[in-house]
Amino acid sequence: MKFLGLSLIAGLVSALGFAPLHLWPLTILAFAALVWLVEAAPSLRSALARGWWFGVGQFVLGLNWIATAFTYQAAMPAWLGWVAVVLLALYLAIYPAAAAGLAWRWHKGNRIVLILLLAAAWIVTEWMRGTLFTGFAWNPVGVAWVGVAGVPGLAAYLGTYALGGLVVLAGGAVSLLAGRRWLPGAVIAAPILASALLFLPPGVGGPGDARPQLRIVQPNIGQQNKWDPRYEEENFRRLAALSGRPGVTPRLLLWPEAATPDYLSIEPAARRRLAALLGPDDLLLLGGVELVFGRDGYSEAAFNSVYTIRPDGRLGDRYDKAHLVPYGEYLPMRPILSAIGLTRLAPGDLDFLGGPGPRTLDLGRFGRAGVQVCYEIIFSGQVVDRADRPDFIFNPSNDAWFGAWGPPQHLAQARLRAIEEGLPVVRATPTGISAVIRADGVVEQSLALGEAGAIDTPLPHALAPPPFARLGNILAFAFALLLVAAAIAVGRKTR
C-alpha cells in the first residue's frame, strides 16, 4: 500500500507542471519517481497498479476544473462534479497503467530499457486516450513543456504525443543521474537540452507585410448570465460596444462560441442587427446554434456552428462542430440516463449532431480560416483539412464554466496546435482567455480571464507546413518505434 500511495502522490505532483502553475520541473521529478516505482514493482500486477494510481493522481488534480461545470447545472448537486472528476480519473488512469505494465513486462531488469520502453508506451497510450471512445485528449503530458524555451518547437517535427515521451525520458534521465549513472543519464538528457537551443521560436513574417486586420471581442459574459433571457439584450450590447465602429481598414470581427442565442439561418432580423455593426468591407465570424428540423416541422437536433455574417446581412460559409463533448453537447444513452434524472451540463433539451470534420472557410480578403470550436482544438493531428490548408485557425470557445484551471490549460493546448500545424491560432472566448497565438506557439496578445475587452491586431503569418502538418501522428509513432529499437539494442548489449 505504501508504494501505491507514493504513486498517487507522484501523479498529483506531475499535474503541477500543467497550466496555470507551469511547475514543469516537478513533472519531470514525478516521472523520475514513476520510473523508480515501476522498476521496483515485484510483479506485472503491481506495476499496473502503480501506473494506475499515478494516473489517478494526475487526472484528479489536472482535471479539477470539470467540477466547476457542475455548479452551473441546476438539476445536479454541485458535489457531483467532484464525483465526476474522480470517476473520469479512474477510467483515464487505465492508459498510464498500460504504459507502466508494458515497460515493466519487457525491461528485463534494466533501468535504461525500462525508461525507453516507458517513453514509447506513453506515446502510444496517450494517443489511444485521445482517440478511443471519441477520445479525451486533455492535458497530454507534453503540454508541460509549453513555456520552456525551444523544447515545444519539437512538436512541429514529432507532435505533441512525442513531447510526452520526452517528458518520460527527462524523468528517466533524472533517475539515472540520481543513481550516479552519469553516462546513460547524460546521453538521454543531452538531446532534450540541445532542443532547447535548436528549436527556439524562429520568428514569423516581417513588420512591413500587409496583413488582414482582426478585432477579437471578449465581452466577459459569465455562464450564469449567458443563457438567461433577461440578460439577452445586455449581452448583445456588450458585444456590440466592444466591436467598435467601422473604420477605413476592413476588419474581420471575431466573436466567441455561442455568442448569439438567435437562430441565424431562420431569423433575418437577427442577421440584419449583426450586419449593422459592420463596415462595407468588414466580416463577422461568430458562434451560434443551427437547428435541424424533422419532417413534422419541429426541431429535433442542432449543430454547434460558426457563422459568417456579411455586411449586407447574408450568411456566408458555416462550420459545424465535429468533435462533440459527451454530457456537455449530447447525452449518451439518453433514454436510460434521462430516466434516472441525468441531463446535459449545457442547457437545452436537443442533442447536438457532429459535423463532417475539419473544413477551411474562404473569407475573401481575410484569407482562409480553419475552424475548431472550443474542445476540438485539443486533438493533435485532427484540426486542419490537410487537402485545403488554411491561413490560420479560428478557435471560438466558451471557457466560462471551466473554472480557474481550465482556460489556461485550453490556451496551452492551442499553442501546441499552432506549433504542430505552423499556423497562427486566434481564440475568442466570452470570459477569457482570448488570444492571438503565432505559428511558432508564442502568445502575441491576450485578454486575461474575467476581463472585458478587445484585441486589435494584424493576422500573424503562417509558416511553411512543418513535417507534422504534412504527416501527422505517424511521426510520433515513428519516434516510439525508434525508442523501442533503442531499448532492444541496449538490452542485447548489456545482456
Q: Tens digit of pLDDT for each residue in 208-267? A: 566 899 999 999 988 777 777 788 889 999 999 999 988 889 999 999 998 888 899 999
Instruction: Indicate which residue of 374, 376, 420, 421 is catalytic.
Output: 374
What pLDDT does residue 362 have? Answer: 94
What pLDDT does residue 314 have? Answer: 92
What pLDDT does residue 307 have? Answer: 95
- Cell output for 166: 520526452
- Cell output for 359: 473544413
What pLDDT does residue 339 have? Answer: 45
Please give the share of the chain, as a percent, with pLDDT higher than 90. Answer: 65
What pLDDT does residue 328 have? Answer: 63
What pLDDT does residue 3 have? Answer: 85
What pLDDT does residue 72 have? Answer: 67
Mean pLDDT value across residues 336-358: 64
pLDDT digits (tens, 9 = 90+) for 21-30: 999 999 999 9
pLDDT digits (tens, 9 = 90+) for 420-454: 999 999 999 999 899 999 999 999 999 999 999 99
What pLDDT does residue 337 have? Answer: 45
Give catalytic status of residue 444 as yes or no: no
Distance (Å, whole) CA 268 – CA 276: 12
Please report which confidence band the pLDDT of residue 340 belongs to, taking 50, 70 and 90 as the band edges: very low
Average pLDDT of every residue of the chain: 88
Question: Is the pLDDT reported for residue 189 higher than 60?
Answer: yes
Mean pLDDT value across residues 185-202: 74
Distance (Å, whole) CA 175 – CA 369: 45
pLDDT digits (tens, 9 = 90+) for 70-80: 776 655 676 77
Give catalytic status of residue 374 as yes or no: yes
What pLDDT does residue 345 have? Answer: 52
What pLDDT does residue 185 have? Answer: 86
Residue 268 zone, left/alpha/beta (φ > 0; ψ -120 to 50; rest): alpha
- Cell output for 296: 413534422
Mean pLDDT value across residues 276-299: 89
Instruction: Indicate which residue of 126, 257, 290, 420 is catalytic.
Output: 257
Question: Is the pLDDT reported for residue 86 higher than 80?
Answer: yes
pLDDT digits (tens, 9 = 90+) for 93-103: 999 999 999 99
Mean pLDDT value across residues 187-193: 81
Which residues are within 8 A (CB) of 476 and not within 5 positions of it... i.e. 6 or more apart?
123, 127, 158, 159, 160, 161, 162, 165
What pLDDT does residue 206 have? Answer: 53
Worst-scoring range by mean pLDDT, 206-210, 262-266, 478-482, 485-489?
Answer: 206-210
Question: Is the pLDDT reported for residue 333 higher than 50?
Answer: no
Give catalytic status of residue 233 as yes or no: no
Query: Which sequence spans correspond to the domains of the chain?
Result: 2-200+472-494, 213-460
pLDDT digits (tens, 9 = 90+) for 351-410: 788 889 999 999 999 999 999 999 899 999 999 999 999 999 999 999 877 888 999 999
Residue 25's identity, in one-letter code, is: P
Please give the share of the chain, as a percent, with pLDDT higher than 70. Answer: 90
Instruction: Indicate which residue of 39, 126, 226, 321 is catalytic.
Output: 321
What pLDDT does residue 28 have? Answer: 96
pLDDT digits (tens, 9 = 90+) for 114-158: 999 999 999 999 999 999 988 899 999 999 999 777 778 889 999
The model carries a pTM of 0.91
Domain topology for 213-460: Nitrilase/N-carbamoyl-D-aminoacid amidohydrolase (3.60.110)
